[in-house]
Amino acid sequence: MRGSEVRRSFLDFFARKGHLIVPSSSLVPVGDPTLMFTNAGMVQFKDVFLGVAEPPHPRVANSQKCLRISGKHNDLEEVGRDTYHHTFFEMLGNWSFGDYYKAEAIEWAWELLTKEWGLPAARLYATVFRTDDEAAGLWRKITGLPAERILRFDEKDNFWEMGETGPCGPCSEIHIDRGERACDRRDDPKHRCGVNAGCARFIEIWNLVFIQYTRDESGALHNLPDRHVDTGMGLERIAAVLEGVEGNYDGSLLRSIIAAAEQLSGRRYGRDPEADVSFRVVADHARAVAFMIADGIEPSNEGRGYVLRRILRRAARHGKVFGFDQPFLYRVCGAVIETMGDAYPELRERAERIAEVVRGEEERFQVTLDRGLVHLREALERLGPDEKVLPGEVAFRLYDTYGFPLDMTEDILRSRGIRVDREGFEAALAEQRERAREAQAGKGAGDFTLLVATARERGGSRFAGSFVDSWESRVIALARGGQPVDRAGEGEVLDLVVEETPFYGESGGQVGDSGEIVSAAGANLRVFDTQKPAPDVIVHRARVVRGEIAVGDEVTLRIDSPRRQAIRLNHSSTHLLHAALRANLGTGVQQAGSLVDDAHLRFDFTHPRALSDAELERIEDEVNEVVRANLPVTTEEMPYQQAIAAGALAFFGDKYGDVVRVVRMGDYSVELCGGTHVRQTGDIGLVRLVSESSVAAGVRRIEAVSGAGALERVRRRDELLREISRLLRTSEEQSLERIERLLAAVRELEKRIEALEQKQSGSLVERLVAGGKQFDGYRAVIARVDGVEAKAMRALCDQVRERIGSGVVVLAAEVPSGVALTVAVTSDLTERFHAGRIIQELAPLVAGRGGGKPELAQAGGKNPAGIPAVLEKANELLG
């Protein structure tokens, strides 16, 4: 039974048991900032377990694509070294939400394994939590397993928890004995094979989690009103078992991808242990890369994009083992698409983009690798002969500037017997992250978990409508600092939920509304943000300006109507811009992110290159043509599949229910969207594109303004042109010609100045050479050259070095920014004098730092008063 058949058999089996088969969710978790990637099948049902969302069906099953590459679930460095670690894998799972429980879960697991798939019962073992007598009894009763093959373990192995608090419960694992030959610790005389004994003979194939408790902040367990089942089985592992092969990479799911690497390299898997590691890395990473890009992740230097870049570059680096010096991974990704495209159609839909991104990233990595290696070599040259630790800030600079993952720097240095100061690297990284956190301060939405649960217990909240500016309602929940409260007084900041509200909660790239809330008792609240942490809960973030607000109060809610209107215009303009981009650049354009507020709109999209001025003009013209056409803007709710069949655009990373809202702008734009929009495109008035730039490799960003914002931009440009023409003392129409004439005159003057400087420089070189000192077999020129610009110092130093034949040049100058130092050494003396090390001793004397190669080094400083000390120290070092 091949891997694809195992997947299909699992889903068909549970469909016959009354389960709804749901598609895999994206690798990008929706609405869960605590996770970077989906790492288990239960992730898309987390809100169900927390009680803030309804399950799609009491019984559910699926095959979930997963990635374990961040946080405590990080297998990256292990991938390739053995035959069972992965970054990307598929998790087969079945769930019960308050429906069946332990008996059915155990019975159906046993039935599938032994009857459907024919695994010998004599090779199977069950584990249970040490106090779970119920599960132990069911295993004995249902399966007939003898007591010695029903084993009890503690919390480490057989108790599942979502976090420090929240849903949890005992779990029961099924292990299989693969025989004595499978043990990978036979050389250890102390080792004894057994379940959870740490060898490859006994491996877990299925985990059944019984969620029956919730843990509070004190650590106490409480029974849940509804008990759930959450099971998980790694497809690659069970497929390898059923196919009768030794390891996961020998199974059909990965072997076909390895075959592609074999064909490209001319090498064979299984013949060379070192090459086998690289084969496994390339196969695993090609799957991870293809699926990440298919789910809308693009390479970048932060977050998920950095993880993608790191995986891709690690695979590319392992390609060097096969002698690849040209892009190859994009071809291996083609084998991934061929192998898995039927089960995951998004791979085929995004095949062109996957190839484009991977190939481009491989090409850029080669350039980056070359540049980074130069920087690394220079850093190594600055190390003393006995130093065996690379400073952490150097490793961080390689990571931050050149995209070198820390593990790659460590791999390169390992062969030289040098290690990285990891503490220094982590400190530099933490400092950068802290700066980023400070930049984001105040933007977070806080923890709404308890507030959402409270609000849902009281019926949740509803949105009154896109064109409702004022509404009367009743307060159903309040929270302060994430903790539910009954009332709040003047000056306090709180989160507030009402039964029905005109305030739009931030979602889909559109910011939340602001405005005011007034209670019948006289309280006045200023709402500065609105969030939507759950589909049926809208949270108002507000400050109590006057009085006191309490749960149960009758209130009037008023949005900031002019701000809402500006947001409407920008949101509708975003839809038109998206449609115009696809019309002009092709359907390969995919939304990669957006932000819509009252001041402007920002739209990120996939495209391999910068847009030309002509393309931007054509796109802006088309958007404004649609605005002037005054097309009707309509909304309609319909089943998701019907909306997609009708041509509506849906976006990776967005979470859609069975029924979706479709926003249609005539026949020009159709998208799934829950935001607020104009009634007809003519309401927008005018759209102006402000900028087009790069966000990451293969991702572009357009910023634009609309309505009054666009008109204001036109006015400012007109004012600027009038001011320029006034300064130039010419008409607006002739301003450009006047500027061109002035620039031509400036260029002519610059040429004359350069000629004069060269003439003066020649005489300066002569004076410096003449003033040099003769030492034992070489000449030294040590001088102060104030008035020479920092950028000209290097050229001057080179000229003097060429004239002295064999020797060392040390120049110092006071410049507007402080001090410039340059050291040059002729090639015959670099073993005796190292320019980079000389300047490292000189720079601190002027409160500076610097470095460089053996032949040339430069530094900057802040204290010109230290220049005499620099010259004295140089004489001492060279004499």
Residue 740 lies in a domain: no
User: 546 and 573: one domain?
Assistant: no
Answering whether pTM is above 0.75, one says no
DSSP per-residue codes, 67-121: E-EETTEE-GGGTTTSSS--SEEEEEEEEEESS--HHHHHHHHHIIIIIIS---G
**Residue 546 falls inside a structural domain:** yes
Q: What is the mean pLDDT of the chain?
A: 89
Rounded to whole angstroms, the maximal C-alpha distance in the chain is 102
Distance CA 566, CA 313 (A): 43
How far apart are alpha carbons 679 and 465 in whole angstroms? Answer: 13
Which tokens belong to 482? 């994430």
pLDDT band with cut points at 50, 70 and 90 for residue 444: very low
What's the pLDDT at 787? Answer: 78
Contact 609, 374 (CB under 8 A): no
Q: Is residue 580 helix, strand or coil?
A: helix
Q: Which residues pair with 665 in a beta bridge?
A: 633, 669
Q: Is residue 412, in this structure, part of any structural domain at all?
A: no
Domain that holds residue 92: 3-250
Predicted local distance difference test score (pLDDT) of residue 48:
84
163 shares a domain with 52 = yes
Query: What local confidence, expressed as pLDDT, does residue 441 receive?
Result: 41
pLDDT reported for residue 403: 66
Residue 540 and residue 607 in one domain: no
Q: How buried is 750 (Cβ within 10 angstroms: 0-12 exposed, 13-18 middle, 19+ buried)?
A: exposed
Q: Chain-centre distance of CA 434, in angstroms?
A: 17
Contact yes or no for 230/209 (Cβ under 8 A): yes
Task: Tell me what pLDDT residue 745 has.
Answer: 93
Residue 314 within a domain: yes
In DSSP notation, 674-719 reads: -S---SBGGGG--EEEEEEEEEETTEEEEEEEETHHHHHHHHHHHH
Residue with tokens 């709109």: 601
Query: Are 555 and 595 in the same domain?
Result: no
Strand 659-665: give its sheet, edge to edge: 633-639, 659-665, 669-672
For the ranges 51-55, 604-608, 676-680, 733-737, the one whose mean pLDDT is highest: 676-680
Q: What residue type is assigned to position 430 of the chain?
A: A
Average pLDDT over residues 614-636: 96
pLDDT, tens digit, 9 for 90 and up, residues 657-688: 678 899 999 999 999 998 999 999 999 999 99
- Cα separation of 875 and 803, whole Å? 20
Domains held by the chain: number: 5
Q: How many Cα atoms sit within 13 Å of 301 on the Cβ side?
A: 16
Determine, yes or no, domain membership for 433: no
Strands, E, within 826-867: which ranges? 849-852, 856-861
536 plus 582 within the same structural domain: no
Q: Where is pLDDT greater, at 31 or 468?
A: 468
Residues 319 and 347 in one domain: yes
Among 36-50, 75-89, 690-704, the minimum mean pLDDT is found in 75-89
Q: Are 187 and 273 in the same domain? A: no
Could you tell me the pLDDT band of residue 374, with boundaries at 50, 70 and 90? confident
pLDDT band at residue 31 under the 50/70/90 scheme: low
Mean per-residue pLDDT, 513-531: 95
* Least confident window among 153-162, 370-379, 805-814: 370-379
Q: Which pLDDT score, from 0 to 100, does residue 334 have?
A: 95
Q: How far apart are CA 290 and CA 717, in angstroms?
A: 45
Supply the DSSP string of 493-544, one letter for each residue.
EEEEEESEESPPPBBTTBPPP-EEEEETTS-EEEEEEEEEEETTEEEEEEEE
Position 439 pLDDT exceeds 50? no
Domain membership flag for residue 414:
no
Asked if residue 820 lies in contact with residue 858, where contact means CB atoms within 8 angstroms, the answer is yes
Mean pLDDT, residues 70-99 taken together: 80
Cβ atoms 248, 236 nearer than 8 A: yes
* 204-245: pLDDT as tens digits: 999 999 999 888 888 888 888 889 999 999 999 999 999 999
Distance CA 412, CA 419 (A): 10
Residues 490, 588, single domain; the answer is no
Per the CB < 8 A criterion, the answer to whether 461 and 504 are in contact is no
Q: Residue 268: what pLDDT?
A: 92
Run of H or E residues at 670: strand 669-672
Are β-strands 856-861 and 849-852 bridged in parallel, bridged antiparallel, or unpaired? antiparallel
Q: Rounded to whole angstroms, what are the CA distances from 197 to 178, 190, 203, 462, 735?
A: 14, 11, 10, 54, 82
Instruction: Give the rounded percent of residues in the chain with a pLDDT score beyond 70.
Output: 95
- pLDDT top residue among 142 and 369: 142
**What is the C-alpha to C-alpha distance for residues 211 and 223, in angstroms, rounded to an integer?**
9
Residues 81 and 218 in one domain: yes
CATH of the domain at 518: 2.40.30.130
Last residue of a domain, one of 250, 266, 290: 250
Distance in angstroms (rounded) separating the CA atoms of residues 304 and 282:
19
Range with the largest mean pLDDT of 303-307, 500-504, 826-830: 500-504
Q: To which residue do tokens 């460089």 refer?
A: 852
Say if residue 170 is in the same domain as residue 239. Answer: yes
Last residue of a domain, one of 538, 559, 580: 559
Q: To 5 degrees, how large is the angle CA 229–CA 284–CA 198? A: 60
Q: 3-class SS at 632?
A: strand
pLDDT the model gives residue 795: 85
Find all residues with CB under 8 Å of 650, minimum gap 6, and list them: 640, 643, 644, 656, 660, 671, 672
Please compute, for residue 220, the number of CA atoms within 13 A of its CA located in the half-sphere on the CB side.
Answer: 3
Instruction: Identify the residue whose tokens are 């914002």.
Output: 709
Structural tokens at position 414: 């390992």
Handedness of CA 785, 791, 792, 796 (dihedral sign): positive
Neighbours of 525 (CB within 10 A): 26
Cβ contact 517:555 at 8 Å: yes
Measured from the Cβ of residue 729, the count of other Cβ atoms closer than 10 Å reads 7
Q: Given CA atoms 299, 304, 306, 308 in this order, what sign does their dihedral have?
A: negative
Question: CA separation (Å) from 27 to 258, 288, 315, 329, 390?
Answer: 23, 10, 20, 21, 36
Domain harbouring 21, CATH code: 3.30.930.10
Contact 23, 54 (CB under 8 A): no
Residue 445's pLDDT band (boundaries 50, 70, 90)?
very low
CA distance 548 to 486: 11
CATH of the domain at 774: 3.10.310.40
Residue 87 sits in the same domain as residue 23: yes
> What are 188's two structure tokens?
């250890």
**What tokens appear for 204 in the block?**
């877990």
Q: What is the C-alpha to C-alpha distance for residues 692 and 681, in angstroms, rounded to an integer?
A: 23
6 three-class SS: helix
Q: How confident is the model at residue 568 (pLDDT cuts 50, 70, 90)?
A: very high
pLDDT band at 865 (very low <50, low <70, confident <90, very high): very high
Is the pLDDT at 797 greater than 60, yes or no? yes
Asked which of 426-435, 553-562, 604-613 is least confident by mean pLDDT, the reply is 426-435
CA–CA separation, 109 and 133 (whole Å): 19
- In 364-499, the DSSP E strands lie at 389-390, 419-420, 462-463, 470-480, 483-485, 487-488, 493-498
Average pLDDT over residues 570-590: 93
Mean pLDDT, residues 372-376: 82
- The verdict on 183 and 288 lying in the same domain is no
In the predicted model, is pLDDT for residue 443 greater than 60?
no
Domain boundary pick from 674, 695, 715: 715
Question: What is the mean predicted confidence (pLDDT) over 68-75?
Answer: 62
How many other CB atoms sit within 10 Å of the CB of residue 426?
Answer: 14
**778/233 Cα distance (integer angstroms):** 74
